[in-house]
Amino acid sequence: MARNKIALIGGGQIGGTIALLAGLKELGDVVISDILDGVPQGKALDIAESSPILGFDADLSGGRGHAQIKDADVVIVTAGVSRRPGMSRDDLLAVNAKVMCAAGAAIGKYAPNAFVIVITNPLDAMVWALQKASGLPPRKVVGMAGVLDSARFRWFLAEEFKVSVEDVTAFVLGGHGEALVPLFRYSTVGGIPLPDLVKLGWTTKDRLDEIAQRVRDQGTEVVDLLKVGNASPIYAPAAAAIEMADSYLKDKKRILPCAAHLSGHYGVKDLYVGVPVVIGAAGVEKVVEVTLGPAEKTAFQKSVASVRTLVDVTRRLEPSLG
């Protein structure tokens, strides 16, 4: 049986790391498409040369231009400009919306049956733009944000309680970063919901709120620490995209928080918002809808409103998206 084909549109920091992880996990052959010539070829060759040491079989190639993504099973989009210190996600919108239009058109032309994972920021608007530009069914186009946000939340909780990350789950809703809505009552340590841990005296509600805020600020915290050039988070975003691709390619039906197209779920229409979904061979196979309490509903609606504002700006910048 032929190997799966994973196409990366954008072979920068995150794209290169995804290529390595895809190899390590033997998810399939990898092609890296970038606007630069040389960088994708160089990264593909470098990673291919690591394969005899790391022990994986995969063809890796790269180059300029999108024709090489032809018939990809999965396309992961990181193309665009990344955030610099002091730059908000929204500042990126004007540049990256154009990149999504070009990448979307190429996916529609060369890889119309692919499952597409968008990472480019500002995520919730960029995934909307890419789906429109590609014409692919909305269930085949998702945004990577929630897996990363919940991983960050899980890491901080594991540190807080001095337990394994494997025993911590975190349930998040809403937009990426600042617009994140963590649901404490569905987040657990060893199966115990966070509010129960407050009652048991393990932590306090204030401390949990502080951790949630740190998760929201995480993109900025890492950018501020890295301080060099246009450096921004790389490894956790790449790992998150790989987890989503893995669930699709192996039909694992993982329940993962993703920016998914909502068509009435949670009272939202034609918008990509972070919600838990089942990812399997059909793409987004189910949106998991939970009942929200009044405070959760207010926070979620605020998050949806901020996503809608970004999408409205994108629509104005790129009227062809409709």
Q: Which is nearer to ligand APR, 13 or 68 (CB)?
A: 13
The residue from 66, 176, 261, 265 that is catalytic is: 176
* Per-residue buried b or exposed e for 23-32, using 16+ beta carbons within 10 Å of the residue's own CB: bbeebbbbbb
- Our finding on whether 232 is near ligand APR (CB under 6 A) is yes
Q: Distance (Å, rounded) from C-alpha 277 to C-alpha 207?
A: 28
Residue 122, preceding peptide bond in cis (omega within 30° of 0): yes
Does 14 sit near ligand APR (CB under 6 A)? Answer: yes
- Beta-strand pair 5-9/29-34: parallel
**Tokens (6 digits) for 298:** 């207010």
Provide, rounded to whole angstroms, the least separation between the CB of residue 264 and ligand APR: 29
For ligand APR, give the closer residue by CB, 102 or 192: 102
In the block, tokens 């920068």 appear at 12
Q: Does the footprint of ligand APR cover residue 102 (CB under 6 A)? A: yes
Nearer to ligand APR, 72 or 208 (CB): 72
- Tell me the closest approach of the beta carbon of residue 135 to ligand APR, in angstroms: 18
Q: Which two tokens stand for residue 130?
A: 């890419």
Q: Is 36 in the site for ligand APR (CB under 6 A)?
A: yes
Regarding 9 and contact with ligand APR (CB under 6 A), the answer is yes
Stretch that binds ligand APR, among 118-126, 165-173, 278-286, 287-295 (CB under 6 A): 118-126
Binding segment for ligand APR (CB under 6 A), chosen from 47-55, 76-84, 203-211, 294-302, is 76-84
**DSSP for 121-132, written as a single string:** SSHHHHHHHHHH
Separation of alpha carbons 41 and 50, rounded Å:
14
Residues in the interface with ligand APR (CB under 6 A) total: 25
Q: How near is the Cβ of 7 to ligand APR at its closest, in Å? A: 11
Q: Which of 121, 218, 303, 314 is close enough to bind ligand APR by CB under 6 A?
A: 121
Is 66 a residue of the active site?
Answer: no
CB of 268 to ligand APR, least distance (A): 23
- Is 237 near ligand APR (CB under 6 A)? yes
Region from 45-53, 116-124, 189-197, 243-251 binding ligand APR, contact rule CB under 6 A: 116-124
Shortest separation between residue 129's beta carbon and ligand APR, angstroms: 13
Token readout for 217 is 């600020």
Distance CA 121, CA 145 (A): 10
- CA angle 189–193–196, rounded 5-degree value: 110
Q: Is 10 in the site for ligand APR (CB under 6 A)?
A: yes
Please report how the helices 294-317 and 93-110 are oriented relative to each other, as an axis angle in degrees rounded to 10.
Answer: 80
| Sequence letter at residue 187 | S
Residues 233-264: b if buried by 16+ CB within 10 A, e if exposed: bbebbbebbbbbbbbbbeeeebebbbbbbbee
CA–CA–CA angle 53, 56, 62 (5° rounding):
95
In this chain, which stretch among 32-40, 48-56, 155-163, 255-263 interacts with ligand APR, using CB under 6 A? 32-40
To ligand APR, the closest distance from the beta carbon of 311 in angstroms equals: 17
**Catalytic (active-site) positions:** 176
Q: Site residues (CB under 6 A) for ligand APR? A: 9-15, 34-36, 39, 78-80, 82-83, 99, 102, 119-121, 230, 232, 234, 237
